[in-house]
Amino acid sequence: MKNLLNIWIMLFLSLFTTGCSGGSVSAPSYTPAPVTPTVRPNPLAGVKTWAIQLQNINEGTSVDELADSEYDLLVLDPTRTDWLSGYQNFDTKAMVQRLKGTGGVSLSKKMVIAYVNIGQAENWQWYWTWSRTWPEGEAKPSDWPDYIITSDPDGWEGNYPVAYWDSDWQDIIIYGQNQNSEPYGDYTSALDEIIKDGFDGIYMDWVAGYEDSSVIARAEKDGKDAGSEMVKFINQIRTYCHSRKPDFIIIQQNGSSLFRKDAKLFDYIDAISQESIWYGASGGFSDWHDPSGYDEKNDEELTDYYVTNLNNYLKAGMSVLDVEYAVDFASDAYGKSKEKGYIPYCTRRSLSRLTTTVPPDYK
């Protein structure tokens, strides 16, 4: 990594799939930039509880459990866009309709939000038409597009950071003018498919890709500033979604310092979700029972760094969602999060089922 910020932040980024937090890491020192955000109506104002599940949605009784749950807001993977695993025929639209017909703790109708990775290409997604793998230590496969930069820095297999300012990548995520989805239907863009399936909004992963050293180097080569380009990208996403669904919700995951690049960010998002403010994980990416997937306490300086940044989102009138990888320390994490005014959810790093440590407002 080129600087201290990149050293620690890389340990806490996703991908989901979502970003992964590590153990004790010192936060960088900095002087907070003055920010005077414009307060806007908060579409998540009634949300008291939320949950996130990104794996195994199509298996067993997962959808039944999601429907029976009392969470006001659910963040879910669209699933049917996973062609590598053969989930093309999963009826995401029916799932979303069913879930939106059930209520939560404070809402009579659940909000259902789609996870989307805007900063990485994923080799199981519908748009992937190239050779499948990039062997470690070898040159990038010759048939891969130029906008794919490197392999995931946290070791997430099949995830590849991209130059998100590239028009070809933006066509996949936003515009859908040049996509071929044969033989599984007329897919256009990732956002189009999410809107088509009836989701209330999106949960954007790898926003913090603007702090990845390889992404920064590529941006500089292209004459770009990685942070500014991420803010522009999010604005394009919001503009496109609102042209089709004016009340569509835009949630940023991680990258809590992005507003310091351009405070206009606050005009483009409705909420932020931050992983591991107090408790992270060094493992447990796919194994729900892996003890390295929860209860690893963060360095206090890192916690303070997140809290300082997140205060600016609260001042802008936005909800702050907090996902802590905590089981034995869930009560501590819930208490600290609630004290700060966040909406917390404590679970295990694999995100493959609903938590066993429900939030205090759940019932």
pLDDT confidence of residue 55: 94
Is residue 67 pLDDT above 60, yes or no?
A: yes
pLDDT confidence of residue 3: 37
pLDDT tens for 32-46 read 555 555 677 899 999
pLDDT confidence of residue 29: 45
pLDDT confidence of residue 186: 81
Phi, psi of 213 (to 5 degrees): -60, -40
Retrieve residue 296's tokens: 């690893």
In DSSP notation, 148-174 reads B----TT--TTEEEB-TTSHHHHIIII
Average model confidence (pLDDT) for the chain?
A: 90
**Amino acid identity, position 77:** D
Do 56 and 78 touch, CB atoms closer than 8 A?
A: no
Separation of alpha carbons 285 and 269, rounded Å:
28
Which structural domains are found in the chain, ordered by start? 4-346 (3.20.20.70)
| DSSP-based three-state secondary structure for 2 | coil
pLDDT tens for 166-179 read 999 999 999 999 88
Separation of alpha carbons 132 and 84, rounded Å:
10
Q: Which residues of 282-312 are buried (b: 16+ CB within 10 A; e: fewer)?
A: bbbbeebebeebbbbbbbeebbebbbebbbb
Is there a cis peptide before residue 183, judged by omega within 30 degrees of 0? yes
Return the closest-CA partner of residue 42 out of 272, 204, 197.
272
pLDDT confidence of residue 103: 96
Separation of alpha carbons 146 and 62, rounded Å:
38
Retrieve residue 260's tokens: 């310091």
49 band by pLDDT with thresholds 50, 70 and 90: very high
| DSSP-based three-state secondary structure for 105 | coil
Do 196 and 185 touch, CB atoms closer than 8 A?
A: no
Q: Which residues contact 22 (CB under 8 A, 6 or more apart)?
A: 11, 12, 280, 281, 282, 296
Query: For the residues 305-313, what does the mean pLDDT come to?
Result: 98
